[in-house]
């Protein structure tokens, strides 16, 4: 792994593989969620102005009709089964945007594109469930070792389609640099297939190194498939990038390409990070394929990230997650070719692993359920790293209750944010949590992007799931739940090394925060589920 320097270069062959230059800058701002919210305010203001100027004689009628429709819709929303914070957001929208709220609500609730994707993926899930291994023998074994793990694994298998596996070896990476170094080693060993699913690909040193290996492997007959989220088309890569990669014999797809404000499932992004090598080795974590994640480029100070590599039969769960997402819109995909691969001899280690995905297309909040299970069952401590802190009532209550019953609850947040408005919103939760005894730290060297939980030297989660509404409710996500595995000590060590580099927030710190930021944060909580 070369060291960072101002004169950083990429090999000539790597440069030739960077097949296009993506659109950046203004597009990132124009298509941001915050911009969309403010655009609604602007449109609402124009409508109100036109109503006052052109239709003043009908203003009373307009007001009465708007009030009636809004009142009926609010009654409907209050009686819906959705999260209370989501209800508050919709009620706020109807109060602020009465002229547009009904159309916006109908569009979201009756989104044809969303329904088509949901139907397609539901069919795929039903047809491919047979590929999940039968682990009932493990359930019997786990029952006598840990009733708590037995109950959680039963839930995960029944509602998350995520079976439990014995630990066949894993490695935790406390930084993107370590993750990248190990990833390169494993990619170079590939003999049969490589699957990559990621949220962000950005041209540079990291992707150049990976792409060079993918090209060489594809030319040698290894099947290489790359899936990335469609938001990259407006921020990092040319729209036709998948076609360009096909010239290198690399299969590539863009999940849900973005169209200006009309993409039918704009909110449901593929936020997963999965790499599969030959069906026996898998990677996940917070690391996207861009230079800032390995600190080859500085954007928000030092970038603190984390990842996990695991081996053995547990990799089948991630292989299937990838194939199910890849299969959307594709016919005759040969699952047997990849799901029935013969694994090399496995040396079992202590503990268990449950790799799992979370989908916005069903009503089961698997990601949040796992987090709540860890918090609610903690006896000694719960340590959390997350880049964002946009919490619903359930998470706030669980964190506060754990702290009040004597659990050492600590959360590490960034000190240098990547999104200032979201940081203001995240900080608006500090006082409420600190009042309950939760300890909040900000990582002074820069930005924390890790999504990691660890508790009681016994349970941990490493994956892609942030503590915000988008990850818990709207995105496709993935993670690995770990129980009594040796690497938990490495995860705890990472926290213990990070705490001294972080500042523990005090009530004085909260009081002295920028007053404008505090006001903006409180206002944004009304729209938190949309941000």
Contact 44, 238 (CB under 8 A): no
Mean pLDDT of all residues belonging to the chain: 86
pLDDT at 282 over 70: yes
**Quick one: DSSP state of residue 2?**
P
How much is the average pLDDT of 488-513? 98
Among 331, 355, 379, the domain-final residue is 355
**Quick one: DSSP state of residue 261?**
T
Closest C-alpha among 37, 109, 59 to residue 261:
37
35-39, 346-350, 460-464: range with highest mean pLDDT: 460-464
* 307 & 228 share domain: yes
Give 453: exposed, middle or buried? Use CB within 10 Å, 0-12, 13-18, 19+.
buried
pLDDT at 176 over 50: yes
Asked whether residue 211 is assigned to any structural domain, the reply reads yes
200's tokens: 């962000």
pLDDT at 244 over 60: yes
Q: Name the pLDDT band for 120 (thresholds 50, 70, 90).
A: confident
* 32 & 74 share domain: yes
pLDDT at 12: 39
Q: Name the pLDDT band for 267 (thresholds 50, 70, 90).
A: confident
Asked whether residue 108 is assigned to any structural domain, the reply reads yes
Contact 236, 290 (CB under 8 A): yes
* 83 & 41 share domain: yes
How much is the average pLDDT of 196-208? 95
Asked whether residue 456 is assigned to any structural domain, the reply reads yes
* 265 & 229 share domain: yes
Residue 226 DSSP SS3: strand
Separation CA 464–CA 306 (nearest Å): 10
54-63, 90-99, 205-214, 227-236: range with highest mean pLDDT: 205-214
pLDDT digits (tens, 9 = 90+) for 477-489: 999 999 999 999 9
How much is the average pLDDT of 330-358? 89
How much is the average pLDDT of 147-157? 95
Terminal C-alpha separation, the chain: 36
Residue 318: count other Cβ atoms within 10 Å of its Cβ: 26
Q: Which of 27-36, 161-170, 210-219, 365-374 has the lowest mean pLDDT?
A: 27-36
86's tokens: 């989501």
* 157 & 260 share domain: yes
Residue range of the domain that includes 376: 366-530
Residue 345 DSSP SS3: coil
Asked whether residue 4 is assigned to any structural domain, the reply reads no
Residue 141 DSSP SS3: helix
pLDDT at 28 over 50: no
Asked whether residue 234 is assigned to any structural domain, the reply reads yes
Contact 301, 508 (CB under 8 A): no
pLDDT at 47: 62
* 495 & 384 share domain: yes
E-assigned strands of 53-137? none
* 309 & 433 share domain: no
pLDDT digits (tens, 9 = 90+) for 47-105: 656 665 666 666 667 677 777 877 787 787 777 777 777 777 777 777 776 666 766 67
pLDDT at 338: 93
* 145 & 190 share domain: yes
Asked whether residue 17 is assigned to any structural domain, the reply reads no
pLDDT at 11: 47
pLDDT digits (tens, 9 = 90+) for 415-439: 999 999 999 999 999 999 999 999 9
- The CA-atom distances, in angstroms, between 402 and each of 122, 373, 375, 391, 510 are 36, 11, 7, 16, 22
**Quick one: DSSP state of residue 202?**
-
pLDDT at 37 over 70: no
* 491 & 392 share domain: yes
Among 324, 355, 386, the domain-final residue is 355
Contact 111, 420 (CB under 8 A): no
**Torsions phi, psi for 347 (to 5 deg):** -100, 110
**Quick one: DSSP state of residue 4?**
P
474's tokens: 């709207």
**Quick one: DSSP state of residue 313?**
T
How much is the average pLDDT of 394-423? 96
pLDDT digits (tens, 9 = 90+) for 186-199: 999 999 999 999 99
pLDDT at 7 over 50: no
Enumerate the β-bridge partners of residue 409: 382
Q: What percent of the chain has a predicted confidence (pLDDT) above 90? A: 61
- The CA-atom distances, in angstroms, between 401 and each of 249, 372, 411, 452, 456 are 54, 11, 15, 20, 16
pLDDT at 87: 78
Residue 66: count other Cβ atoms within 10 Å of its Cβ: 16
| Greatest distance between any 2 Cα atoms in the chain | 82
- The domain total for the chain is 3
144's tokens: 């006598």
pLDDT at 70: 77
Q: Name the pLDDT band for 450 (thresholds 50, 70, 90).
A: very high
pLDDT at 320: 96
pLDDT at 323: 95
Q: What percent of the chain has a predicted confidence (pLDDT) above 70? A: 82
pLDDT at 30: 46
Asked whether residue 13 is assigned to any structural domain, the reply reads no
Asked whether residue 121 is assigned to any structural domain, the reply reads yes
- The CA-atom distances, in angstroms, between 37 and each of 14, 271, 274, 527 are 40, 22, 31, 9
320's tokens: 């299937």
How much is the average pLDDT of 105-132? 73
* 184 & 51 share domain: no
* 325 & 386 share domain: no
* 63 & 212 share domain: no
Give the CATH number of the domain where residue 260 resides: 3.30.870.10
Among 88, 113, 138, the domain-final residue is 113
């Amino acid at each position: 792994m070369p060291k960072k320097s101002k004169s950083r270069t990429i090999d000539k062959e790597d440069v030739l593989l960077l097949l296009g230059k993506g659109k950046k800058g203004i597009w990132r701002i124009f298509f941001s969620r915050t911009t969309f919210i403010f655009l609604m305010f602007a449109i609402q203001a124009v409508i109100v102005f036109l109503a006052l100027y052109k239709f003043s004689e009908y203003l009373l009628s307009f007001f009465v009709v708007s009030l009636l429709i809004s009142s009926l819709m609010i009654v409907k929303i209050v009686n819906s089964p959705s999260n209370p914070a989501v209800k508050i957001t919709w009620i706020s929208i109807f109060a602020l945007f009465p002229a547009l709220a009904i159309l916006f609500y109908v569009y979201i609730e009756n989104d044809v594109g969303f329904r088509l994707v949901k139907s397609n993926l539901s069919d795929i899930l039903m047809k491919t469930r047979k590929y999940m291994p039968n682990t009932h023998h493990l359930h019997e074994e786990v029952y006598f070792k840990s009733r708590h793990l037995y109950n959680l694994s039963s839930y995960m298998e029944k509602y998350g389609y995520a079976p439990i596996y014995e630990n066949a070896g894993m490695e935790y990476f406390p930084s993107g640099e370590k993750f990248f170094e190990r990833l390169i080693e494993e990619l170079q060993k590939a003999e049969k297939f490589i699957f990559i699913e990621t949220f962000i690909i950005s041209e540079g040193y990291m992707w150049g190194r990976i792409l060079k290996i993918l090209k060489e492997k594809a030319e040698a007959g290894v099947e290489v498939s790359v899936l990335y989220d469609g938001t990259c088309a407006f921020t990092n890569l040319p729209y036709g990038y998948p076609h360009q990669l096909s010239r290198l014999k690399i299969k590539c797809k863009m999940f849900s390409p973005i169209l200006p404000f009309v993409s039918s499932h704009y909110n449901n992004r593929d936020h997963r990070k999965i790499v599969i090598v030959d069906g026996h080795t898998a990677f996940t974590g917070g690391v996207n394929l861009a230079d800032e994640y390995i600190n080859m480029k500085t954007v928000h100070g030092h970038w603190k990230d984390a990842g996990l590599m695991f081996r053995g039969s547990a990799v089948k769960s991630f292989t299937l997650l990838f194939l199910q997402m890849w299969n959307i819109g594709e016919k005759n995909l040969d699952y047997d070719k990849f799901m029935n691969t013969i694994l090399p001899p496995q040396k079992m280690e202590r503990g268990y692993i449950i790799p799992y995905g979370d989908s916005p297309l069903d009503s089961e909040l698997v990601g949040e359920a796992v987090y709540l299970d860890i918090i609610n069952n903690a006896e000694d401590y719960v340590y959390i790293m997350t880049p964002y802190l946009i919490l619903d009532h359930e998470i706030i209550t669980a964190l506060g209750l754990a702290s009040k019953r004597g659990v050492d609850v600590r959360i590490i947040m960034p000190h240098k944010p990547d999104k200032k408005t979201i940081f203001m919103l995240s900080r608006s939760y500090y006082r409420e949590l600190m009042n309950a005894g939760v300890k909040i730290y900000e990582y002074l060297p820069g930005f924390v992007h890790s999504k990691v939980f660890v508790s009681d030297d016994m349970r941990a989660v490493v994956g892609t799931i942030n503590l915000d509404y988008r990850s818990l409710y709207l995105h496709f996500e993935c993670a690995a739940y770990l129980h009594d595995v040796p690497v938990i000590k490495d995860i705890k060590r990472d926290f213990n090394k990070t705490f001294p580099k972080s500042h523990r927030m005090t009530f004085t710190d909260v009081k002295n925060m920028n007053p404008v930021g505090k006001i903006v944060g409180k206002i944004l909580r009304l729209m938190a589920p949309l941000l």
